[in-house]
Amino acid sequence: MKPALKIWIDGALVPASDAKVSVYDHGLLYGDGVFEGIRVYGGRIFKMKSHLERLWESAERIRLKPVYTPGEIERAMRETVSANGLKDAYIRLVITRGAGTLGLHPFRCPKPCTIVIADTIQLYPAELYERGMRVIVANRPRIPIACLDPAIKSLNYLNNILAKIEAIDADVLEAIMLNIDGEVSECTGDNIFCVAKGRILTPPESAGMLHGITRRFVIDTLGPALGIPVEERSMRLEDLYSADEVFLTGTAAEIIGVSAIGGRTIGSGGVGPVTKSLIAEFRSRVSKSAPED
């Protein structure tokens, strides 16, 4: 039997059954808070510095002041991973606004609540990494940046969840989301790339998306390591339909190929050679010594 997990919450490790937040916490009542999903490979916290920087940027943009320093959060993550005997893991790091009144007023919450969960995760079945996954295009657009910038990794994911429901209703696990101008933005939980004419292409951050850590790793590290040019540019569905390959990236998903979008087959209908090379390069790097920068 799997031993009960220990959760780090507000400075202490407690059994999962005792890890509780107040029903007055604004993270629960209003989705007021920020979070990060972080991978651990061989005991090393993948891109830890980048994740903490993004967390602090998100918190600053909603005027949420963390109780703990980045160094203290780093120690909490390592302590939680160790306490649960994990070498390869998924960390969910959450900072909520904390308990307050039943009104929206965020500054009537005296103290944020900080949570570190370390567990395992498998977002998609293993066979989909071999043959590629089918996705759809969601009818629901991505929230415009002017309304709620998707670059803020907040606890309010209802826009993504509603698009995810569309995918589940279509018997697939992911949906591509367009912005209100009809440009490709991202998926419900993953960033998106395509391969065309020997280049790796991905929408720019101005398309309205989460600034993905794995996305940036592909752009800055994996693509150049394989000698393949990577370009950020505005894309429409026609660019995906005509691409040689399409693949998704995310902390939980890692890198996974797309075989079809709706009823349209992409490329050969499987995982393309560039995507396979990126997956192999990614796995090689994280298995040897996952970068923590």
Instruction: Domain ranges for the chain, please list them.
Output: 6-119, 126-289
Q: What is the pLDDT of residue 42?
A: 97
Q: What is the pLDDT of residue 2?
A: 66
Of 68, 74, 11, nearest to 293 by C-alpha is 74
Q: What is the pLDDT of residue 1?
A: 56
Under CATH, which number does the domain 6-119 receive? 3.30.470.10
| Model confidence pLDDT, tens digit, residues 192-251 | 999 999 999 999 999 999 999 999 999 999 999 999 999 999 999 999 999 999 999 999
Spans of the chain, pLDDT less than 50 = none
Q: What is the pLDDT of residue 105?
A: 98
CA distances from 164 to 103, 157, 176, 269, 280 (A): 29, 10, 9, 23, 28
For residues 37 and 96, what is the distance between their CA atoms, to the nearest angstrom?
15
Active-site annotation, residues: 153
For residues 90 and 119, what is the distance between their CA atoms, to the nearest angstrom?
5
Q: What is the pLDDT of residue 3?
A: 74
Of 4, 5, 31, 274, nearest to 148 by C-alpha is 31
Q: What is the pLDDT of residue 4?
A: 85
Q: Would you give the distance in Å from CA 74 to the centre of its chain?
A: 19
Under CATH, which number does the domain 126-289 receive? 3.20.10.10
**DSSP states of 161-221:** HHHHHHHHHTT-S-EEEE-TTS-EEEESSSEEEEEETTEEEE--GGGT----HHHHHIIII
